[in-house]
Amino acid sequence: MEIPHTVEPREDTGLYNAKVGVWLFLASEVMLFGALFSSYILLRVGADPGTWPRHWLDYKLGAVNTIVLIISSVTNVIAWANLKMGSFRKYRNYQALTILCALVFLGIKSGEYYGKFHHYTIRLTDGRIADGHLQKNETTKDKVVIEGWWREGEAAVMDPPANVEEKKIEIERGKIADMRNYGPSRNNFAGLYFTMTGLHVLHVIGGILVIFAIWGPLNGMWKSDPRRYTNRVEVAGLFWSFVDLVWLFIFPTFYLL
Amino acid sequence: MRRHLLIAVALAAGTVTTIWTSQTDFGSFSLNVAMTLGIAGAQAVMVAAFFMHLLSEKKMICCLLVFTAFFFVMMMGLTLLARLPANVVHYK
């Protein structure tokens, strides 16, 4: 028995099943990310002045990622439009660009995460604070070598000054009072940054796996049932546009404000 | 296709404008936040309207999203309720 309205829309709503389903799913995703955003807002407005980090993230990399996701959304929609007009070849080309953009996004994000895990704030026993990226090749059991800056107090750690030249700093391990990286356990900002961008990355991976599966191994349906295949591409595209939409809020929240 | 490319250019311009507003001193940090998130909101509306075809979508989807928006606003409001002074929430 065939399930009705997988291709032909219902007379009362004018929608086919998958479209209703994906919009309901996206509504639940709004609440998921919304809960995290509201947590961020509550923690941010509740933080004492000068204790909430600013300018910890490279906004230029974030902007590149934003443009990459925008391009991927455009190519995704154009791919679907070409499929609606019956051009499978053009659909494949544009959807390949979508997949490529997603991989670029993931690559840049991986680089950002790597940088954060290798970026340390070192508090010395004499009260000085050093901040920079660990130079693993030069670090030994006796000394830690970073490429970074000396910070003038906690305020400069929370809101680092811009355009200060990095220099190599060698610190004997015996003089280190505390050493911690910019990972998720650092503070609430870092915890929320990794949680929200990590959840977003999982959505990017999930979305691109679905888009790739429909583009690649499952594209035989284009020959057997082209309208149903086009609908699959459309609902996957709706999810992909939502992933882009969430990033449009994550970028200014974490990278700019 | 031309319309989609124009929207993409508008979104990219919005991204650049967002960076500019966040780095410009308008006298009040709250104003910076409002402007930056306002531009992000406008970008989100463009993505929803044109890339997700909401402009031409059926009424049922729009009704569903009205409910979603209502519950989203309620959730944000409940979170900010925690910031109210105690004597407002628990009257003596």
* Domains, chain A, ordered by start: 17-25+51-115+186-256 (1.20.120.80), 120-181 (no CATH)
Inter-chain contacts counted by CB atoms under 8 A, chains A and B: 113
- What pTM was computed for the model? 0.92
CA distance A250 to A65: 11
At residue A139, φ and ψ (nearest 5 deg) are: -75, 135
Residues of A in contact with B22 (CB under 8 A): 59, 252, 256-257
Of A27, A35, A63, the CB nearest to B19: A63
Average pLDDT per block of 10 residues along chain A, 257 residues long: 85 88 95 95 90 94 97 96 95 97 98 96 95 94 95 90 90 95 96 98 97 95 94 96 97 94
The answer to whether A68 and A104 have CB atoms below 8 angstroms apart is: yes
Find chain B residues with C-beta within 8 A of A76's C-beta: 51
Contact yes or no for A171/A130 (Cβ under 8 A): yes
Confidence of residue B85 (pLDDT cuts 50, 70, 90): confident
Q: Going along chain A, which residue ranges are E strands?
A: 119-124, 129-134, 143-151, 167-172, 176-181
**Whole-number Å distance between alpha carbons of A201 and A33:** 13
Alpha carbons B17 and A20: distance in angstroms, whole number: 35
Judged against a pLDDT cut of 80, whether residue B83 lies above it is answered with no
Residue A195, classified by CB atoms within 10 Å of its CB into exposed (0-12), middle (13-18) or buried (19+), is: middle
Cα–Cα distance for residue pair B12/A246, rounded to 1 Å: 15
ipTM of this complex prediction, to 2 decimal places: 0.89
Q: So what's the pLDDT on residue B82?
A: 78
Residue A121 touches partner B, C-beta closer than 8 Å: no
Predicted local distance difference test score (pLDDT) of residue A35: 95
Nearest CA in chain A to B29: A257
Asked whether residue B86 carries a pLDDT value surpassing 80, the answer given is no
Chain B nearest CA to A214, separation (Å) = 19
How many angstroms separate the CA of residue B3 from the nearest CA in chain A?
Answer: 10
| Beta pairing partners, A181 | A120
Residue of B nearest to A76 (CA): B51
In sequence order, which residues have a C-beta less than 8 Å from that of residue A55 and are 6 or more positions away? Answer: A159, A160, A162
Residue in A37, A67, A77 closest to B4 by CB: A77
Q: Does the pLDDT at position B89 exceed 70?
A: no
The pLDDT of residue A80: 96
* SS3 call for A77: helix
Higher pLDDT, A38 or B90: A38
Q: Do B40 and A249 touch (CB under 8 A)?
A: yes
Nearest to A234 by CA among A84, A108, A85, A133: A84
